Amino acid sequence: SIDNVKAEFDKALADAGDKLVVVDFTASWCGPCQRIAPVFAALADEMPDVVFVKVDVDENDEVASDCGISSMPTFQFYKSGAKVHEFSGASEEKIRDAIKSFK
């Protein structure tokens, strides 16, 4: 998980190369975020060829605002450093569908 602002976020995207990066913008006070967290962790274990990153919006408001986050959870999908997809809401099915589409 990303604790240190924008540089670390940008580095995570760069380090992923051409792998798909799935970013979970979450908050400790957000019920749906907490419910989807174990699913997100399980998907990360299941799909080692995809990079999963969790960003706590309260600790990383700079990254959240740069990424245009207005509600939690929001999932963004990046390929080669560029955002290719985004949706809000805690839906495992939507996460899986997006991974299939963009991987």
Q: Active site residue: 21, 23, 30, 72, which one?
A: 30
30 is catalytic: yes
Q: Helix 92-102 and helix 31-46: axis angle, to 10°?
A: 40
Rounded CA gap, 20 and 18, in Å?
7
Query: For the sheet containing 82-88, what is the strand order?
Result: 51-56, 20-26, 74-79, 82-88
Tokens coding 79: 């390929």
Residue of 20, 23, 33, 36 marked active site: 33
Is residue 11 within 8 Å of residue 69, measured between CB atoms? Answer: no
Question: Is 67 a residue of the active site?
Answer: no
Give the residue numbers annotated as catalytic, written as ranges.
30, 33
